[in-house]
A = this chain, B = another copy of it.
Amino acid sequence: VSASRSDGRIRAGIVGGTGYTGAELLRLLAQHPAVDLVAITSRGVAGTPVDRLFPSLRGRVGLTFVEPSAAHFERCDVVFFATPHGVAMSQARELLAAGVRIIDLAADFRMRDAAEFERWYKLPHSCPDLLSEAVYGLPETAREAIGRARIIAMPGCYPTSVLLGLLPLARLERDSHGRAGVVDWDGIVADCKSGVSGAGRKAELELLAAEVSDNFRAYGLAGHRHQPEIEQQLRAATGRSVQITFVPHLVPMVRGIHSTLYVRLESASGQDLQQLYERCYRDEPFVDVMPAGSCPDTRSVRGSNVARIAVHQPSRNRAIVLVVEDNLMKGAAGQAVQAMNIAFGQPEVQGLTQMALLP
């Protein structure tokens, strides 16, 4: 099942292409050498040419938004959901039946547990039986499963950065087989900062330029949906109880996530963290471990699918991990295309070699 149906090309559809994630998917898929973009849906603007909404795509994307009913996604090899939560699960069964793979950029298939999903997203889950089949699409942890998956649940933007930042420690923990313990997994602090495109293209007062510009604030202190997602993945990776203190902040910029991760090291194992991180990500095409002492900036990944990581150890029992990613690329659309490449047996970096725009 790892190739497209016929001629080696991947026929792709997009549900809900009027948001920023949709626009970024369009940018990537329009340039992807192995993809034919077949249809894109939007209830709100059906009939509008895509390049009228996004003039940056003029001359590059000839599609017009269509009503969902007119999309005929059964022709596709893969359908991306760049929709609010709850849409993908409502269409999943039908698409799977038609042999179409699903890559969901929303949260419908991220949680293992339907009850957990319903608690955080205030929605009943319409196909809980499919949850166990869905693969959490972080290539760095699930490359093989992605290759076989029918449903790929793309990680949230914050979780991607936090998980990539903690993965080397999680593996060290797992490999320690419950001996002394490497990290205090109940004491992780993830202080995360995101540009405003992460909030989506929604007409809300608090996202106005006059509200966001020259301003900085935290939000989601009462509980952010990405927290259980991160904890679930870290529990799976470490085999331990994990409780994370996660505080997201809104930065007056467009793209970019910067996660500052504070870790208490339980044992003085003498582990060289720099080495650990470099070794862990040596073969990863989209994770860049910076030289010791670095402070990566978000613009160094703006528009690219790379996450850059720096690890610091200010004292024997403290580690600070800095992670930057472009929330629309490695944090969303880029990683989704990476997963698609894996799922269809394409070179993983295909269509994803854009270099960051600096300055």
> Footprint of B on A, CB under 8 Å?
20, 23, 27, 30-31, 54-60, 187, 189, 191, 193, 195-197, 199, 201-205, 207-219, 221-223, 243, 245, 247, 249, 251-256, 258, 260, 262, 264, 288, 290, 293-304, 306, 308, 312, 314-315, 318, 320, 322, 324, 353-359
Chain B residues with CB under 8 A of A253: 213-216, 252
How close is A334's CB to chain B, nearest CB, in angstroms?
12
A260-B217 Cα distance, complex, nearest whole Å: 10
**Given contact pairs A31-B353, A54-B358, A189-B189, a sample of 5 additional A-B residue pairs in the complex whose CB atoms are under 8 Å apart:** A55-B290, A195-B216, A201-B210, A214-B256, A254-B359
A208 contacts B210, CB within 8 Å?
no
A-B contact pairs, 13 of them (CB 8 A): A55-B300, A55-B308, A58-B288, A58-B290, A59-B306, A189-B189, A191-B262, A203-B205, A209-B252, A213-B214, A214-B302, A216-B253, A245-B318
Chain B residues in 8 Å Cβ range of A214: 195, 213-214, 253-256, 299, 302
Question: In the assembly, how many copies of this chain are there?
Answer: 4
**With known contacts A208-B207, A298-B215, A293–B59 Cβ distance under 8 A:** no
Query: Are the CB atoms of A216 and B256 closer together than 8 Å?
Result: yes
Q: Is B293 a contact of A254 with CB atoms below 8 Å? A: no
Q: Shortest beta-carbon distance, A179 to chain B, in Å?
A: 24
Q: Are A245 and B217 in contact (CB under 8 A)?
A: no
Q: Judging by beta carbons under 8 Å apart, are B298 and A255 in contact?
A: no
Which residues of chain B are near A203, meaning CB under 8 Å? 203-205, 208
Task: Name A294's closest neighbour in chain B (CB-CB).
Answer: B55
Query: Closest 8 A-B residue pairs measured CB to CB?
Result: A217-B297, A56-B356, A209-B212, A56-B358, A191-B191, A215-B299, A55-B300, A209-B209
Bound Cα distance A30, B353 (Å): 11
Query: Knowing A197-B210, A302-B357 touch, does A320 contact B60 (C-beta < 8 A)?
Result: no
Is there an interface contact between B299 and A355, defined as CB atoms closer than 8 Å?
no
A55 touches B187 (CB 8 A): no
Q: A247 near B56 (CB under 8 angstroms)?
A: no
CA distance A54 to B359 in the complex (A): 9
Return the contact of A322 from the options B193, B211, B218 (Cβ within 8 A).
Answer: B218
Report how far A302 CA is from B355 CA in the complex, Å: 14
Contact across chains for B205 and A296 when beta carbons are under 8 A apart: no
Contact partners of A356 in chain B: CB under 8 A? 56
Q: Which residues of B lie under 8 Å from residue A222 when comparing CB positions?
A: 293
The answer to whether B205 touches A208, judged by C-beta atoms less than 8 angstroms apart, is: no
Chain B min CB distance to A186 (Å): 10
Residues of B near A209 (CB, < 8 A) are: 196, 207-209, 211-213, 252, 254
Whole-angstrom distance between the Cβ of A332 and the nearest chain B Cβ: 13
In the complex, which residues of chain B have a beta carbon less than 8 angstroms from the beta carbon of A293? 221-222
A301: nearest chain-B partner, CB-CB: B56
Q: How far is the CA of A308 from the CA of B260 in the complex (A)?
A: 23
Q: How far is the CB of A229 from chain B (nearest CB, A)?
A: 17
Which residues on B sit within 8 Å (CB–CB) of A249? 193, 258, 260
User: Quick one: given A191-B191, A209-B213, A212-B209, are A255 and B359 in contact (CB under 8 Å)?
Assistant: yes
Report B-chain residues with C-beta under 8 Å of the C-beta of A210.
Answer: 20, 195-197, 199, 201, 207, 254, 359
Complex alpha-carbon distance, A258 and B357, angstroms: 19
Cα–Cα, bound, A359→B356 (Å): 14
Expressed in whole angstroms, the minimum distance between the Cβ of A49 and any Cβ of chain B is: 10
